[in-house]
Structure 1
Amino acid sequence: MRGHVMFRPRKKYIFLLLVLMLVPLIILTYLSVMHDDNFNRNSLMGFNNREAALAERVREVEDENQMLRRQLSLSQYQLQQSYQNNIQGMDPRNEGTDDKEVEIGINNGTIICTNVEENVPKCEVIHVAIVCAGYNASREVITLIKSVLFYRKNPIHLHFLADKPGQLTLSTLFDTWDITGGKFYFYNFLLIQDDVSWIPNKHYSGVYGLMKLLLTKVLPKDMDKVIVLDTDVTFATDIAELWKIFRKLKNKKAIGLVENQSDWYLGTLWRKHKPWPALGRGFNTGVILLDVKKLRKMKWMQMWRLTAERELMSMLSTSLADQDIFNAVIKQHPDIVHQLPCAWNVQLSENTRSETCYTEISDIKVIHWNSPQKLRVKNNHIEFFRNLYLTFLEYDGNLLKRELFGCQAYQHKPKEVVKEITELDEDDQCYEFRREKLLTHRIHLYYLDYQYIQDLDGTDVTLVAQLSMDRLQMIESICNHWLGPISFALYMSDAEVQQFLRYALSSDILMKRKNVGYHIVYKDGQFYPVNFLRNVAMKQVNTPYVYLSDIDFLPMYGLYEYLKKAIGMMDMSKANKALIVPAFETLRYRLTFPKSKAELLTMLDMGSLYTFRYHVWQKGHSPTNFAKWRTATTPYKVQWESDFEPYVVVKKDSPLYDTRFVGFGWNKVSHIMEIDALGYEFIVLPNAFMIHMPHAPSFDIAKFTSNKNYCLCLKILKTEFQKDMSKRYGFKALKYVSMDK
């Protein structure tokens, strides 16, 4: 083959034609000049014969070029016609299809034209199915999704087979992530688990490890194909490249898999090792191309079930869950499998030899951490793989809300949010505050394992607090002081979340506690969204009552049990009451925490404790009437006063916090004001207390004290809130305006 060049129709053909036409002209010009200038010399030297030979060669070249031009013209016309026919036959929903590439080969004067496989249309939807159950799995799958989103150029639809915790966590995450061109669907595994729960399974994933067998049953009937992924894989390329391989699944081929890279199915790993039957080394099911339409026609559900029943008579149970059954089916029906290049599932586990699968690291498409050891497995390039994984683990997910250019059907934000933002006046001096309220923060609920056993007496109460990275050390102390349920909202970046995870997993105190919900709100915007965080934590409370605290307060020992008794005695289920826990503070970083009210009063008298903010903001807590509290033995009522912001116990369905208040100032005051407007009684508990622990000032307090515009906007927002209160609560809300003046 003399030539082998890649061309696109039109432009590159024209270029080739021009080159072919210019070559003989250049040769003729050169020969003419040589003939005129050197005729006598050439004649004398006897070069006439060579000149004649060159002239003959030029004529041959011209003839060959004329033939080439005719053939190229004909081929170009045919290719253009084919291209136009394909364009006309395309689905109009697939916008922006890339030009097809044509491979031109010249062999002995004959042009060979071959269509090169075209790219996936950039607006074609790629469907991905994932089995994800439990809080830990929903945390792990995010790294996979980040790696897919980082490279992708197509809309992605995610189909999750999930349990209730997984669905709650992931639906909230993707609702708030607001990914352009991203949609998600959930299929409750409880409705289908009976189809696989009869299979004895030794794999650590349990019944969830068998769920892939049911995809043809649960996925929508109009879905033809889907990529199926384990949660522990990481992409290193555009997933559209994998989607494109579906075109190679011809005839009966309905499943695309990578060969297993361990000797498991060869049965040579240890003595008396008897694996399930497989074709050669077998196939790994961490990455699967599933032609759902073909499999349904083959009656896949009956096919795998019959195979499983037959093999279980001798095997008794599966060791590798769905992978054993997939391989047993393929052993019986080898024509249904298409073997994928091993780069699409580089398997990293203790028994694999994945280095033999690839020659260059750049060839790798998908990394599969299919070992309980995960990042600790051995491989010659483990540092590269680990760094790639950690990059996506800590990558800012906000950067993945990318536009899909050219796909008009997909817009980055819901229209109503766009409208609200565009209606804001950018010349408004409080524009940044108003825009902050419209931010959609990514939320990952229950980042760690969570279990709550319902208290049947109806008096259970959850401590609610919010924090950022600089208050992380308070979590252990609060868990030591409060044994009841806790709901924390943590405001962190993706990288900070991993620091929190390492901190939590290394803490014996936190790992023993399963009744603590950790809800991640990812950083975005300029201000600390304090009330938004409180609302996130409040909404995830499972108890009928909430104790609204702050992260820098330690409740007295035994406060949980004391509050439960107080709730029962106050008959709070039948009336709106707010039980006040009096707040104190210390300026000492090391404090012997008082074990009783008597010890606290002694410390107050000695000056090691103070009533909270008595020296900077007395109005916030003075209505608690600390003088009366000192001698009180029974609960007593107090009245609301301007700027009152106590820490209270209320019903779970009490008002949420107003999210217009961000950073420092008026965030709790506005909430207590609304509770008062609803007619709640404020009752001080005589034997309860909490103590504020000292810490460095927050960044938002520094902004408040140093930025005049910050203070001005806070006053404007406060006035607007009071007007809104008047609209909602009418005449009785007038006191909030008058008392403030």
Structure 2
Amino acid sequence: MHTFHAVRCAFYQLLVAALMLVAMLQLLYLSLLSGLHGQEEQEQYLEYFPPSPRSVDQVKAQLRAALASGGVLDASGDYRVYRGLLKTTMDPDDVVLATHASVDNLLHLPALLERWEGPLAVAVFAATKEEAQLATVLTLAMSSHCPDVRARMAMHLACPSRYEAAVPDPREPGEFALLRSCQQVFDKLASVAQPGVNYALGSNVSYPNNMLRNLAREGANYALVVDVDMVPSEGLWRGLREMLDQSDQWAGTALVVPAFEMRQYRYRLPETKDELLKLYRMGQVRPFYYEVCMPCQAPTDYYRWADLPPETLLRPAYEVSWRDPWEPFYVAGGKVPSFDERFRQYGFNRISQACELHVAGFVFKVLNEGFLIHKGLKDPVEFHPQKEAENQHNKLLYRQFKQELKAKYPDSTRHC
């Protein structure tokens, strides 16, 4: 009887050991399978983008450190700025796409990341404490699930100085903690965003567009400063890099990228100049600000640009003399004047900086192939009711600004 029990006990021990061995082999198989799948995804990703120099944990630590610093006040004392919620490493000669947005307009980022293959910097404005919290949680979600964001995007945050952005509480991460992919992050953002009329914040807060532009392009040598709902043509970053790498003659030159606007239905956004011109001739695409302020873009000379012979290499096609109120989108390096941060809300914010470029001696050359396309037509009736009052206020400031340039550049023979 004792021998029977001993045999049965040994049998059970052998069975348990066999089951444990099978379980371990299954775990090993699943681990190897998962590793191979992850390696395939990583290799596919690396075909298009360089590897991120930092892990997810490092990026999250940087985010928390930036928020825990309490931020710094801007020159006016009206805004609190948190630099480097996300950071990216870049070649000193690289071209940065610098943009700004309210939290609701961050849903445009995927289109920029898809078209612009180089580094991207975005300065986000949160008008309320709740928006600041949403911005930090969103940044945390993007850093966790979007390898392209970790590798190529820098993000800064600004909010009214009376608010402080909080470090996301890991015990109460909210709905974004349930997301498991980058697509889900941006889908969720699109569902919670509440886009309003331009700059109509509804919280007695001024949108500091020029401060945000300076924040986004901070530390960059060459930068293309655009609004977040403007998409570059396919390959623009590569073309600019190749052109700038071949010569150092671009100091003091503003390389103008023609800007267009397009109806938001029926047709996808054009990738090439050929596609753009077809839509242009069909009346689906027109010069940017065509109805709002045609003189603000007219010196680009769209007819001349459209008639240029097609070329494969990006290059400056012709030089244009600056005249008021031209506000071109451009790439420039070196000692580029900052945007004057006294200009807020609507009116004269970009014109003032282009005016100073002109007085400082920059020349403007229009690129032959690249372009920007704004998603949707700009319509004067879509602006918020305070637009005209803001425009008049900034018009007076612009007159003062031009007088100040005479003292800042006493030897310049140019004026606005």
Q: Identify whether the pair has TM-score above 0.5, normalized to the shorter chain.
A: yes
- The structure with the largest alpha-carbon Rg is 1
Tell whether 2:192 aligns with 1:515: no
Partner of residue 632, structure 1: 308
Secondary structure at the aligned position of 1:610 is classed as strand
Residues 721 and 453 from structure 1, CA distance in 2 versus in 1: closer, same or farther, beyond 3 angstroms? closer
Tell whether 2:64 aligns with 1:140: yes
Can you list the C-alpha shifts for 1:112-163, whole angstroms capped at 9, x where unaligned? xxxxxxxxxxxxxxxxxxxxx95523543678x6xxxxxxxxxxxxxxxxxx
Residues 505 and 174 from structure 1, CA distance in 2 versus in 1: closer, same or farther, beyond 3 angstroms? closer
Tell whether 2:234 aligns with 1:557: yes
Can you list the C-alpha shifts for 1:150-185, whole angstroms capped at 9, x where unaligned? xxxxxxxxxxxxxxxxxxxx4xx44439xxxxxxxx
Task: Say which of 84, 98, 118 aligns to 1:446.
Answer: 84
Secondary structure at the aligned position of 1:721 is classed as helix
Partner of residue 486, structure 1: 120
Amino acid at match of 1:613: Y
Amino acid at match of 1:616: V
Can you list the C-alpha shifts for 1:415-461, whole angstroms capped at 9, x where unaligned? xxxxxxxxxxxxxxxxxxxxxx723421111213x33153xxx6410
RMSD, aligned CA = 2.9
The CA distance in 2 between the partners of 1:673 and 1:705, in whole Å, is 22
Secondary structure at the aligned position of 1:567 is classed as helix
Task: Say which of 597, 617, 622 aligns to 2:273.
Answer: 597
Give the structure-2-normalised TM-score. Answer: 0.67
The CA distance in 2 between the partners of 1:604 and 1:446, in whole Å, is 39
Answer yes or no: is the 8 Å Cα contact 1:579–1:685 preserved in 2.
yes
The CA distance in 2 between the partners of 1:509 and 1:682, in whole Å, is 41
Answer yes or no: is the 8 Å Cα contact 1:446–1:518 preserved in 2.
yes
Answer yes or no: is the 8 Å Cα contact 1:135–1:446 preserved in 2.
no
Trace 1:272-291 onto structure 2 (pairs within 5 A).
none
Answer yes or no: is the 8 Å Cα contact 2:359–2:414 preserved in 1.
no
Partner of residue 664, structure 1: 346
Secondary structure at the aligned position of 2:415 is classed as helix
Q: Give the number of the structure with larger relative contact order, counting CA–CA contacts within 8 Å between residues 6 or more apart.
A: 2
Amino acid at match of 1:568: D
Partner of residue 192, structure 2: none
Secondary structure at the aligned position of 1:447 is classed as strand
Answer yes or no: is the 8 Å Cα contact 1:584–1:692 preserved in 2.
yes
The CA distance in 1 between the partners of 2:354 and 2:137, in whole Å, is 36
Could you tell me how far 1:706 is from its partner in structure 2? Answer: 5.2
Could you tell me how far 1:481 is from its partner in structure 2? Answer: 0.9
Residues 135 and 442 from structure 1, CA distance in 2 versus in 1: closer, same or farther, beyond 3 angstroms? farther
Task: Say which of 491, 499, 502 aligns to 2:134.
Answer: 499
Could you tell me how far 1:611 is from its partner in structure 2? Answer: 1.0
Answer yes or no: is the 8 Å Cα contact 2:63–2:140 preserved in 1.
no
Secondary structure at the aligned position of 1:702 is classed as coil
Answer yes or no: is the 8 Å Cα contact 1:726–1:734 preserved in 2.
no
Answer yes or no: is the 8 Å Cα contact 1:546–1:652 preserved in 2.
no
Answer yes or no: is the 8 Å Cα contact 1:546–1:649 preserved in 2.
yes
Partner of residue 694, structure 1: 376
Residues 627 and 700 from structure 1, CA distance in 2 versus in 1: closer, same or farther, beyond 3 angstroms? closer
Answer yes or no: is the 8 Å Cα contact 1:476–1:510 preserved in 2.
no
Task: Say which of 201, 210, 216 aligns to 1:537.
Answer: 216
Partner of residue 608, structure 1: 284
- Length, aligned pairs only: 309
The CA distance in 2 between the partners of 1:698 and 1:453, in whole Å, is 39
The CA distance in 2 between the partners of 1:658 and 1:496, in whole Å, is 26
Trace 1:358-373 onto structure 2 (pairs within 5 A).
none
Partner of residue 721, structure 1: 401
Answer yes or no: is the 8 Å Cα contact 2:66–2:85 preserved in 1.
no
Residues 706 and 640 from structure 1, CA distance in 2 versus in 1: closer, same or farther, beyond 3 angstroms? closer
Tell whether 2:223 aligns with 1:585: no
The CA distance in 2 between the partners of 1:665 and 1:644, in whole Å, is 13
Residues 567 and 731 from structure 1, CA distance in 2 versus in 1: closer, same or farther, beyond 3 angstroms? same
Partner of residue 92, structure 1: none
Trace 1:49-60 onto structure 2 (pairs within 5 A).
none
Amino acid at match of 2:241: K
Secondary structure at the aligned position of 2:79 is classed as coil
Tell whether 2:105 aligns with 1:471: yes
Could you tell me how far 1:730 is from its partner in structure 2? Answer: 3.0
Residues 509 and 656 from structure 1, CA distance in 2 versus in 1: closer, same or farther, beyond 3 angstroms? farther
Answer yes or no: is the 8 Å Cα contact 1:504–1:511 preserved in 2.
no
Could you tell me how far 1:595 is from its partner in structure 2? Answer: 2.5
Partner of residue 677, structure 1: 359
Residues 570 and 667 from structure 1, CA distance in 2 versus in 1: closer, same or farther, beyond 3 angstroms? farther
Amino acid at match of 2:360: L
Paired-residue identity, %: 26
Answer yes or no: is the 8 Å Cα contact 1:527–1:700 preserved in 2.
no
Could you tell me how far 1:588 is from its partner in structure 2? Answer: 1.5
The CA distance in 2 between the partners of 1:509 and 1:556, in whole Å, is 26
Secondary structure at the aligned position of 2:400 is classed as helix
Answer yes or no: is the 8 Å Cα contact 1:582–1:685 preserved in 2.
yes
Could you tell me how far 1:494 is from its partner in structure 2? Answer: 3.8
Give the structure-1-normalised TM-score. Answer: 0.39
Partner of residue 274, structure 1: none
Residues 696 and 479 from structure 1, CA distance in 2 versus in 1: closer, same or farther, beyond 3 angstroms? same
Answer yes or no: is the 8 Å Cα contact 2:121–2:217 preserved in 1.
yes
Amino acid at match of 1:445: R
Could you tell me how far 1:735 is from its partner in structure 2? Answer: 3.4
Could you tell me how far 1:734 is from its partner in structure 2? Answer: 6.3
Could you tell me how far 1:509 is from its partner in structure 2? Answer: 7.7
Amino acid at match of 2:217: M
Residues 646 and 142 from structure 1, CA distance in 2 versus in 1: closer, same or farther, beyond 3 angstroms? closer
